[in-house]
Amino acid sequence: FDVKREVRRLEIHGNSAYSDGKLKGLLRTRGESTLRFWRSSPYRSDFIRVDRITLQSFYRRHGYLEARVDSVRVQPAPDSPSRVDVRFHLTEGPLSRVEAIRLEGAGPVAEVELRRILTAKPGDALDIPRVEVDRQAIENRYGDLGYVAAQVRDSLEIDGGRVRVVHRIRPGDVARLRGVRVEGNKITHPKLVTRSLLVHP
């Protein structure tokens, strides 16, 4: 039976792109807080394993494709064997940048129109959440035009620190409104309801 241990101090080494506070906010492991003295800070090996993956995934999703957590050191605190200091040592690696954005299969929507709604631009640092937002924006644009089954798949072509983002679009068929049925009306005539609609068969 192990003695229950608490984390006295949590440190992160090797980071320069993001502050300690930003990275610590992502982790389940946490150190003692003088402001929140009532909050516990248990040391758990399963938290450490998850936190390693969390840190690495965060960096890679924001353009540091070679980022890695090299080691996690756990040392007993000098004042108490039931408390430990935890130190994450990481390597950020180079930041990858978007070299180009390619749209394939744009079809009924002009490519210049689609590019206006993209948030990622050539020369920007690679930010995978922004790529996902752009993919959803393209699907939404097609949906607004009646292509409700449109699908957009994105992929990355990586060449060193340069990345080409590819959005492959399958518009599908345009959906048309066949009819409108009004239900639940007891007093109002159906034509009074359908007359105010913005879409028509």
Per residue in 16-25, pLDDT tens?
A: 999 999 999 9
Question: Crossing angle, helix 128-144 and helix 45-61, to 10 degrees?
Answer: 60
* Residue of higher predicted confidence among 60 and 82: 60
Which among 121, 125, 50, 123 is positioned nearest to 92, based on CA atoms?
125
- pLDDT band (50, 70, 90) for residue 45: very high
Strands 80-91, 162-170: pairing is: unpaired
Choose among 89, 92, 88, 81: nearest CA to 30: 88
Closest CA to 150 of 108, 189, 91, 183: 108
Q: Among 50-59, 62-71, 174-183, name the one with the lowest average pLDDT.
A: 174-183
Q: Report pLDDT for 180.
A: 87
Q: Give the model confidence (pLDDT) of 101-156 as tens digits.
A: 999 998 899 999 999 999 999 999 999 999 999 999 999 999 999 999 999 999 99
Kindly report which listed range (5-14, 23-32, 184-193) carries the lowest average pLDDT score. 184-193
What pLDDT, on a 0 to 100 scale, did the predictor assign at position 36?
63
- The residue ranking higher by pLDDT, 167 or 184, is 167
Residue 195 has pLDDT above 60, yes or no: yes
Average pLDDT, the chain: 92
Q: Is 158 helix (H, G, I), strand (E, B) or coil?
A: strand
Please state the pTM of the whole predicted model. Answer: 0.77
DSSP H or E run through 20: helix 20-24
